[in-house]
């Protein structure tokens, strides 16, 4: 028996022979255009080996190895597989995907899973790799404090970063839990995986959730349990930050506001996908939630956590901390927004009524530009406030840097505009993630001129 399966560059199955149906136990109609070849392997093998196999196949013209596969009924079997890259007959013969020829073998195949793979597995399950969206804005607050000669606690910064990251992972895990439980992820056959498109984000999921449960990396029950553990860890760090705040200020004022903001952020993160509220399905409230939790609420809460002085409600410091989070919140919202394009079909079926579902893919292209223009319009009008608050603020460098960043953002938008309904859009998804990170790093450097002299 020799199974032959053909897939595209993202692993989506395009064709298979009768032996493949018999060997794996699936019908042709269950797989073609719906499932990816990763469905036949254990999750840890996918994480550790598959991309390496594809790289070797691309380099040498083919790759042969022995591995273990999984049938539809869950039965595991050993097999020999030969992977070859496929090419079109068109101009320059671009690569179109891969062909896998599989023969079952009667022997035990042991594939050791390395410690590094186990770490990558944890990152994949929790989506910790995207933690920069919540961590970098905290450092922007710390830079603002340093640049404006406000006093902040270094230990509080450490605890705040740890606590916020834990709460983001809690939210990520519960979002996956509810999306799988409600069937949203099960409907999604068009999600984006970076694959070999980017060296740094290689193999990362950029839309459609983590897919960790689908790959068998973790069960639905354990996803919820791990989410609860992350919540507990986050609360422990919150208590530590509150204790330090009381020691530093001699007052409970900061910790009261901190508690209110943390509770608000936690509830927004939980009910982003949780019923009965399910903010993600309420025509823009999901996007507003991302903006608030990764923007103004995050920077305001961090300010209260880091400060060694009390911050009065609606004071100048209070207002500045809120304003600091607007650009990072908008750009993080753009990450979510562009990731809704490949998920459009499944989101619509699952009544996940986000802005792309509401307006459709074609019209939604302008939404990305809208968030981009809002970000840099704000940065321009924020200039005078920063000049007033930051010692020796580098105004000219700030304006030039933001002008160049806006042009970079426009180039991503133009690619989105042309490829909004194509798999090539993934380049814009990847670059939007990098753009948010680059912007925030530049933001941090400009807020504290000391860093510019390093």
Tens digits of residue pLDDT in 311-324: 888 888 999 999 99
Query: What pLDDT shows up at residue 369?
Result: 97
Sequence ranges of the chain with CATH classification 1.10.600:
119-452
3-state SS, the chain, equals CCEEEEEECCCEEEEECHHHHHHHCCCHHHHCCCCEHHHHCCHHHHHHHHHHHHHHHHHHCCEEEEEEEECCCCCEEEEEEEEEEEECCCCCCCEEEEEEEEEECCCCCCCCCCHHHHHHHHHHHHCHHHCHHHHHHHHHHHHHHHHCCCCECHHHHHHHHHHHHHHHHHHHHHHHHHHHHCCCHHHCCCCCECCCCCCCCCCCECCCCCCCCCCCCCCHHHHHHHHHHHHHHHHHHHHHHHHHHHHHHCCCHHHHHHHHHHHHHHHHHHCCCCCCCCHHHCCCHHHHHHHHHCCHHHHHHHHHHHECCCCCCCCHHHHHHHHHHHHHHHHHHHHHHHHCCCCHHHHHHCCCCCHHHHHCHHHHHHHHHHHHHHHHHHHHHCHHHHHHHCCCCCHHHHHHHHHHHHHHHHHHHHHHHHHCCCHHHHHHHHHHHHHHHHHHHHHHHHHCHHHHCC
Query: What pLDDT shows up at residue 90?
Result: 62
Taking the domain 119-452, which CATH number applies? Answer: 1.10.600
Query: What pLDDT shows up at residue 400?
Result: 95
Query: What pLDDT shows up at residue 292?
Result: 95
Distance CA 339, CA 393 (A): 36
Query: What pLDDT shows up at residue 454?
Result: 37
Record the tokens describing residue 120, joined without a space: 């990558």
Sequence ranges of the chain with CATH classification 3.30.450.20:
3-104
Record the tokens describing residue 11, joined without a space: 């692993």
Distance CA 216, CA 218 (A): 5
Query: What pLDDT shows up at residue 339?
Result: 93
Query: What pLDDT shows up at residue 22?
Result: 92
Beta bridge partners of 79: 67, 104
Question: Per the confidence metrics, is the pTM higher than 0.75?
Answer: yes
Query: What pLDDT shows up at residue 195?
Result: 79
Distance CA 68, CA 104 (A): 9
How many CB atoms are located within 10 Å of the residue 390 CB? Answer: 21
Query: What pLDDT shows up at residue 332?
Result: 96
Taking the domain 3-104, which CATH number applies? Answer: 3.30.450.20
The CA-atom distances, in angstroms, between 186 and each of 28, 29, 37, 223, 396 are 18, 16, 16, 16, 50
CA nearest to 290, candidates 303, 270, 272:
272
What's the CA angle centered on 379, arms 377 and 385, to 5 degrees? 125
Query: What pLDDT shows up at residue 253?
Result: 87
Query: What pLDDT shows up at residue 275?
Result: 85
The CA-atom distances, in angstroms, between 68 and each of 38, 97, 159, 215, 292 are 12, 22, 43, 14, 45
Record the tokens describing residue 431, joined without a space: 């670059």
Sign of CA dihedral 428, 434, 438, 444: positive
Distance CA 166, CA 131 (A): 9
- How does 347-367 read in b/e, with b if 16+ C-beta sit within 10 Å? bbebebbbbbbeeebeebbeb
Tens digits of residue pLDDT in 50-64: 999 999 999 999 999
Distance CA 69, CA 60 (A): 24
> At which residue do the structure tokens 């040498």 appear?
60
Query: What pLDDT shows up at residue 173?
Result: 94
pLDDT < 70 regions, the chain: 90-91, 449-454
Distance CA 439, CA 291 (A): 16
């Amino acid at each position: 028996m020799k199974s032959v399966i053909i897939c595209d560059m993202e692993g989506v199955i395009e064709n298979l022979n009768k032996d493949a149906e018999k060997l794996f136990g699936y019908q042709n109609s269950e797989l073609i255009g719906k499932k990816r070849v990763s469905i036949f392997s254990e999750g840890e093998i996918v994480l550790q080996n598959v991309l390496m196999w594809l790289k070797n196949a691309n380099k040498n013209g083919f790759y042969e190895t022995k591995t273990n596969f999984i049938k539809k009924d869950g039965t595991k079997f050993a097999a020999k597989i030969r992977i070859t890259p496929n090419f079109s007959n068109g101009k320059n013969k671009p690569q179109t995907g891969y062909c896998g020829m599989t023969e079952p073998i009667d022997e035990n195949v042991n594939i050791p899973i390395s410690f590094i793979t186990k770490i990558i597995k944890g990152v994949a399950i929790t989506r910790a790799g995207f933690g920069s969206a919540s961590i970098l804005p905290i450092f922007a607050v710390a830079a603002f404090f340093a640049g404006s000669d406000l006093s902040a606690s270094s230990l509080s910064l450490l605890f705040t970063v740890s606590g916020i990251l834990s709460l983001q992972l809690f939210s990520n895990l519960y979002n996956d839990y509810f999306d799988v439980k409600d069937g949203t992820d099960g409907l999604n056959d068009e999600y984006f995986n970076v694959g070999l498109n980017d060296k740094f984000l290689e193999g990362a999921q950029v839309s459609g959730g983590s897919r960790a449960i689908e790959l068998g990396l973790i069960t639905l029950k354990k996803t919820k349990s791990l989410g609860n553990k992350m919540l507990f860890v986050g609360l422990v760090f919150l208590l530590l930050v509150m204790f330090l705040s009381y020691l530093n200020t001699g007052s409970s004022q900061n910790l009261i506001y901190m508690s209110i903001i943390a509770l608000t952020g936690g509830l927004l993160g939980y009910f982003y996908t949780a019923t009965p509220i399910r903010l993600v399905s309420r025509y823009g409230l999901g996007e507003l939630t991302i903006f608030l939790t990764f923007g103004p609420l995050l920077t305001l809460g961090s300010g209260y956590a880091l400060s060694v002085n009390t911050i009065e409600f609606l004071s100048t410091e209070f207002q500045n901390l809120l304003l600091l989070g607007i650009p990072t919140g908008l750009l993080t919202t753009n990450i979510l927004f562009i990731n809704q394009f490949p998920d459009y079909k499944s989101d619509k079926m699952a009544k996940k009524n986000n802005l792309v579902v509401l307006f459709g893919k074609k019209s939604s292209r302008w939404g990305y530009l809208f968030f981009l223009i809002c970000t840099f319009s704000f940065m321009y009008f924020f200039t005078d406030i920063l000049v007033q608050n930051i010692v020796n603020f580098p105004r000219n460098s700030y304006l030039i840097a933001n002008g160049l960043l806006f042009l970079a953002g426009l180039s991503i938008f133009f690619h989105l505009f042309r490829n909004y309904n194509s798999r090539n859009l993934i380049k814009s998804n990847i670059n939007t993630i990098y753009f948010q990170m680059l912007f925030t790093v530049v933001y941090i450097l400009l807020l504290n001129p000391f860093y510019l002299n390093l």
